[in-house]
Amino acid sequence: MAWTKHGLLVPAPAPLAWAASHAALPIPQLLPDGRLRLFFSARDEAGRGQIAAAELEELAIGAPARFRPEPIVALGPLGAFDDNGVTSSCLAEADGRLLLFYTGWTLGTTVPFRFFVGCAESVDGGLTFEKTSPAPVLGPDAVDPFLTASPWVLREGGRWRMWYVSGTGWDVVDGAPRPRYHVKYAESADGTRWDRDGRVCIDFARPEEHAIGRPCVVRDGELYRMWFCARGDAYRIGYAESRDGLDWERMDAEAGIDVSASGWDSEMQAYPVVFDYDGARHMLYNGNGYGSTGIGLAVLAP
């Protein structure tokens, strides 16, 4: 694989009155008329993420875009699992409904934050969303006692499959707590109640690696492909393949994309999402500062 970078598709902050910084964790929705709806996370002045949306006339740098003035999925009520942040993860279709899975954040005491997976539903094609529950759909349990986040969901027949970020614990580094997390697997019959047994799909590859984030899974025939981001000091985009979606081989050298020599993605690349559009395979991803420089576009070379 070799990806050709096209530059920034959505700079940060986005032109929204409530967005003070960041455009991160993009989710594309391809519309029937050829336009693209883009969901992403922006942060307010307090640093709290909420999910924004924009309609792009085409998937191209500089294409006209119409941004929704208010968050599509906003903060939960005080004390809820998502009262201090809502960040985008993936979109799944279910019998005329759209399920927008997200990560809900709340502040901690002994650790700076906690987060778990939430879900919002749309019955009007993605124009509006309502949270399916005030509680997380993938909360803490014996398998995932520390955190869950960033699910990627595919529906295959009557089975729903999820690859998600799972915390393995916290370390104290330079006097401050730092989480460890990798990628696990869950299944569901209805997209709401999930079964998980602790199966790890993408684990740490090196002693210094402590975070594996935002898996994106694409099925090409009998082959499953996963893009994700992994870091020691800074995120880089990784890649893995599987024949069954359960046992994965990391092939990070085949990811086909790396940081630039200078500019908006010269220090970090994170949160990739890969999809097909207009006959070509595309990637949206974030660069420096976890999305503080915006959302970039890359296209797979033929």
Number of structural domains in the chain? 1
The CATH number given to whatever domain includes residue 142 is 2.115.10.20
d(CA 299, CA 60): 11
Q: Which amino acid would we find at residue 177? A: P
- DSSP 3-state percent helix, strand, coil across the chain (nearest 5): 0, 55, 40
Mean pLDDT, each 10-residue run in order, the chain (302 residues): 95 96 98 94 98 95 95 98 98 91 97 97 96 96 97 94 98 96 96 94 96 97 97 96 98 96 97 96 98 97 82
Per-residue pLDDT at 13: 96
Q: Which pTM does this prediction carry?
A: 0.96
Strand partners, 172: 177
Per-residue pLDDT at 94: 82
Q: Which structural domain range is residue 243 located in?
A: 3-300
Strand partners, 146: none
Per-residue pLDDT at 95: 84
What phi, psi does 217 have (nearest 5°)? -115, 130
Per-residue pLDDT at 222: 95
Per-residue pLDDT at 192: 86
d(CA 72, CA 124): 13
